[in-house]
Amino acid sequence: MTELAGDWPAPAPGAAPLRQLVTAQAGLELRTLLRNGEQLLLTLIIPVLLLVAFGHEALVSVGPGSRIDFVVPGILALAVLSTAFTSLAIGTGFERRYGVLKRLGATPLSRQGLIAAKTLTVLAVEAAQFAIVLAIGALLGWTPHAGAAAAAWVPLLLLAGTAAFSGLALLMAGTLRAEATLAAANLIYLILLGLGGVLFPLTKFPASVQPLLKLLPSGALSDGLRSVLAHAGGFPAADLLVLCVWAAAAIGLAARTFRWE
């Protein structure tokens, strides 16, 4: 009996490594999102439909340049808005309402681990969105007019935009009731879709409000991506600064005010 027991490994109680916990939680959140029809509509179907609809030259004039060259960077910005802000805010808000976050707090997965898992999920969904948008854009005739430095500036803009919108999402989800978060996130999504430079040039708006619209995170992200991808622009310092200020302010406020229960 003693010899048989010696063949079994000694028990090793304790939590799994943090990386394994984060990966497992990110996989669970990704599978949950893929099974949610409303989330798929928001993060994938709407951006693709808008890309196809607004990619035609005859629909809306954008001044000099190709319509598709204007629309593709805007849809990339919309992908970040839909995933890092609206989807994350609504999902986190209802997780808080139903006590999911409180229960996760009793597991070996720390709050930092949960945030890391949500971040991985957002980045994974965005990567799929970007691949689909770029492929459809290419089928519609889009060709980027970018310099070699775009390989660095575009990911930097997208990461800064993701940080800004994620911070705003967690700020909203952690302070408002779930129903209020749902209504506010969808309302802000529609406002930024129309006024944030995603589908319509900011030059179409009155000159007095254009500087304010450029300070919106969607306006800065859209303008920065267009500058790099459509006009072979250099380092988008002003747009990155706007996004970084939004990210720092939103994440800082969310860290101080987020209520997990």
Identify the sign of the CA torsion 190, 152, 24, 254. Answer: negative
Q: Which H or E element spans position 232?
A: none
Q: Rounded to the nearest 5 degrees, what angle is found at the Cα of 37, between the Cα atoms of 32 and 41?
A: 115
Considering only CA atoms, which of 85, 119, 109 is closest in space to residue 218? 85
User: Tell me, what's the pLDDT at 64?
Assistant: 60
The predicted structure's pLDDT at residue 54: 86
CA angle 199, 200, 202 (to 5 degrees): 130
What is residue 29's predicted lDDT score, i.e. its pLDDT? 83
Query: pLDDT below 50 — which residues of the chain?
Result: 1
CA atoms in the 13 A half-sphere facing the CB of 69:
16
| Phi, psi angles (nearest 5°) of residue 137 | -60, -40
**pLDDT of res. 6:** 54
Q: How many residues does the chain have?
A: 261
Q: How far apart are CA 34 and CA 29, in angstroms?
A: 9
DSSP-derived letter for residue 203 is G
